[in-house]
């Protein structure tokens, strides 16, 4: 797995945990355990996103770092196979 693939996988894994925790909390807002898990998952997701966008370009249009180049549309599109991790 390349460094980019590892970083992307970490974003995808943590984001999935955040999504699941979100949906669970929508119907179980009183669950202390789920809320703790949510915050843990969000921290992991934020770390993963920071590593990815620092090294491999923006995941969202507001994450373009360069003052000289418009990097948002650079690189592969996510629906292309080569843009994805092989599992």
Partner 1 sequence: MWNYEKRLQYPVRIKKPDGMAAKIIITQFGGPDGELAASQRYLSQRYSMPYGDVAGLLTDIGTEELAHVEMICAIVRQLTKDLTIEQIEEAGLAPYFVDHTVGLWPQSAGGVPFSATVFQSKGDPITDLTEDLAADGTTLYEQTAFSKCRKPLILLGFCHFSRSYKPFHPATAQEQLVTKNNQNHDRTSCFQEKSH
Q: Which residues bind partner 1 (CB under 8 A)?
A: 8-9, 11-13, 15-17, 19-29, 33-34, 37-38, 41, 58-62, 72, 77-82, 84-87
Rg (CA), the chain: 15
- Nearest approach in angstroms of CB 56 to partner 1 is 10
Question: How far is 58 from 73, CA to CA, in rounded Å?
Answer: 9
Chain-centroid distance of CA 16 in Å reads: 9
Measured from the CB of residue 66, what is the shortest distance to partner 1 in angstroms?
15
| Residue 53: CB minimum distance to partner 1, A | 10
């Amino acid at each position: 797995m390349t460094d980019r693939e590892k970083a992307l996988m970490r974003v995808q894994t943590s984001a999935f945990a955040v999504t699941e925790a979100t949906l669970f909390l929508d119907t179980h807002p009183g669950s202390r355990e789920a809320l703790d898990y949510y915050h843990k998952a969000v921290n992991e997701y934020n770390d993963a996103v920071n590593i990815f966008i620092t090294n491999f370009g923006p995941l969202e249009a507001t994450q373009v770092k360069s003052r000289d180049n418009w990097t948002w549309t650079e690189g592969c599109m996510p629906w292309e196979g080569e843009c994805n991790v092989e599992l």
